[in-house]
Amino acid sequence: MIRYQAGSMDAFQEIYVQLAPGVRRYLCHLAYGSETADDLLQETFLQIHRSRAAYNAAYAVKPWVFGLARNVFLMNRRAARRRAEVHKYRQELPECPVPPEVERLGSTDEVRRCIAGLSTDQAEALLLHHEWGFSFEEIAGMLGISAAAARARASRGMADLRGALIDLRKVSA
């Protein structure tokens, strides 16, 4: 990022290659659709370009970029509400790898459906921590909440996810 701040377009390309797939999956989760996520991804990287001078090298780039992506999503959602357009997003969650120890609880598809049933706050914190590997402090900065609140959201989301998967197994049995 420091090289990009100095004007290196190769550095921007490296940032894009490393972060765009994860940011796109995150935006797919927030926007419930890949069509909107592609537009938001472009807008996110435009915001990175516009805000590059404001980046503080004392902080990690990845949480800063995900925070910008979230702000782009929120700005887009507010603009859509102001225009009073009705948007129907189809539910599309990122591909979540299912560790072997969790496979006994449910398939990837079942996990995805159960995550879709969580509250937005819980699902977002759970995915940011467990799927994208952010610390609770980083999640707190992105969401504008305390680290304890981020931890609580992810923990409650995981507990609700386990419960939903167990209930799904009982119904299937």
Burial class of residue 55 in the structure, from the number of CB atoms within 10 Å of its CB (0-12 exposed, 13-18 middle, 19+ buried): middle
Give per-residue pLDDT as tens, 99-124. Answer: 565 556 677 778 888 888 888 889 88
- Look at the block and give the residue holding tokens 């069509």: 35
Q: What's the pLDDT score for residue 87?
A: 32
Answer yes or no: are the C-beta atoms of 125 and 155 closer than 8 Å: no
Q: What's the pLDDT score for residue 81?
A: 65
Give per-residue pLDDT as tens, 131-153. Answer: 888 999 999 888 889 999 999 99
Amino acid identity, position 106: G
Greater confidence (82 vs 170) lies with: 170
Give per-residue pLDDT as tens, 37-85. Answer: 889 999 999 999 988 888 888 888 999 999 999 999 988 887 776 544 3
Q: CA 92: distance to chain centroid?
A: 12
Residue 86 has pLDDT above 60, yes or no: no
Angle 131-95-110 (CA atoms, 0-180°, nearest 5)?
A: 100
Which DSSP letter does residue 53 get?
Answer: G
In order of start, what are the domains of the chain with their CATH numbers? 2-82 (1.10.1740.10), 100-172 (1.10.10.10)
Q: What's the pLDDT score for residue 92?
A: 47
Dihedral over Cα of 165, 27, 150, 15: its sign: positive
Q: CA 103, CA 34: separation in Å to the nearest integer?
A: 26
Q: Which residues contact 147 (CB under 8 A, 6 or more apart)?
A: 136, 137, 139, 140
Q: CA 131, CA 124: separation in Å to the nearest integer?
A: 10
| Listed range (88-92, 95-99, 116-120, 121-125) with the worst mean pLDDT | 88-92
Greater confidence (93 vs 95) lies with: 95
Burial class of residue 23 in the structure, from the number of CB atoms within 10 Å of its CB (0-12 exposed, 13-18 middle, 19+ buried): buried
pTM for this structure? 0.56
Which DSSP letter does residue 172 get?
Answer: H
Share of the chain above pLDDT 90, in %: 34
